Every structure is written in structure tokens, then in C-alpha cells.
Copies of this chain bind each other. A is one copy, B any other.
Amino acid sequence: MRPSGRTADQLRDVKITRNYTKHAEGSVLVEFGDTKVICTASVERGVPRFLKGTGQGWITAEYGMLPRSTTERMGREASRGKQGGRTLEIQRLIGRALRAAVDMKKLGENTINIDCDVIQADGGTRTASITGACVALVDALRYMQEKKMVKTDPFLHMIAAISVGIYKGSPVLDLDYPEDSSAETDMNVVMTDAGGFIEVQGTAEAAPFSQNEMLAMMALARSGIEEIIELQKKALAE
């Protein structure tokens, strides 16, 4: 039995609110149950130095948590003077995942800055961030097309992410915080709408996991991501 009473393959309520704030070219509030993340996509002309003159664009991501998005207040990274290792690891993952969704040549020498800021955390903030950010990214690309900043749509495919894990010996989908903090294995999966894998990160937290457990988790992830991509597309159709 899961603490939330969900079945093993049941997602939390997933909500995607577009245009959540008014300044960004793409701005989404994504909610996976009590996990809430503001994802913005900001369009900027020009690219980092290592890409200048190549004709290619760039997508980069930053991630943060409000100090009291968590059960206990965390120190503010801006005030401590550096981002922690977990933050850097997550924002590198978000950036890699979203770059896989876009044709950098078609993007031209433009940069899209993704910001994912967790306002309430209850497990799965990195996968929620990728899921919400991909919707914000589509809005930003639409903006660029309207403004004639790109000639053709640089979007390759929708991307979504979910966490799966082994909890009390059984594979489960979309772990919330009570599950996440005591799972034996934790795995984050990023996939495309065509079913290809972009990223698979499985970690044994309490005991090594087997190939069979891994396959069971991947199957759960695949079905969960299919559901989420439907929700992304529905939100974008509104």
C-alpha cells in the first residue's frame, strides 16, 4: 500500500497552467500533487561564446527552491553564495533534457533560458520541472515564430519526465516525498513522445537493484510519461 493510497501505476494529479506569470515568453505552473514548480522560458538573442558564429542556438536551465518550499527551511543559495551540488546536478539534467527537444540549427543564434523554481516540494521536483519546462519552451518557440526570430519550427518532439522507484519491494510510479525518502531504489526517466529515452538515472538507495526491477520501473515510467504527454499536449491546445 502506498502512503497516498494510489495504485502502483497511478500518477498524482498533474496540472499544467500556462501563462502563469506575465513577463516570460513561456511561463508555466506545473503541479504533480503537492509539488509545484514555476517554469519559465526566456528568449534572448545571441549565444554563449563557444557557439558564436556557428549558426546554432542554445538552451540552458537553472533550478532553485524557495527556502521554505520544503518541510524544514533550507538556507537560501543566493545568501550562502553558491549553488549546492544537488542544484547543479538537477539544472544540468534539465538543460540536457530540453536541448534534446529542439533542433539547435533551426533555433539559430538565439538562447532560451529555462528557470525552474520550486515553490512547494513533495517529491519529484526535477521531473516536474522538465515536464513543465517543455511546455514553457513550446510557448517560447511559438513566440519566436511569431516574431520571425526563426524560419521554421525548431521543435523536435515533446519531452516529459517522471520518477519511478522500488518502494517496500514493489515498483511504483511518481513517488511523493514520503515514498521518495524511504525507497530502496529511485529512478528518473526522461522520454520523448515517440517513446525514445533521453535520460535514465537509476540509483540504489538502500540495496542494489536487479535488471528485472529496472525493466519493471521502465515499464511504469513509459506508461506514466505517455499520460503526462497527453496532458502537455492538451494544455498546449487550449
Contact = CB atoms under 8 A, between A and B. Distances in A.
Contacts of A70: 23
Contacts of A81: 81-82
A82 B92 contact: no
A68 interface: yes
A174 interface: no
Nearest to A209: B197
Nearest to A43: B73
Interface string A2-45: 00000000000000000001111001000000101010101010
B115 A66 contact: yes
Interface stretch (A51-59, A83-91, A145-153, A229-237): A83-91
Interface of A: 21-24, 27, 34, 36, 38, 40, 42, 44, 62, 64, 66-71, 73, 76-79, 81-83, 85-89, 91-92, 96, 100, 113, 115, 117, 119-121, 187, 191-192, 194, 196-204, 207-211, 214, 218
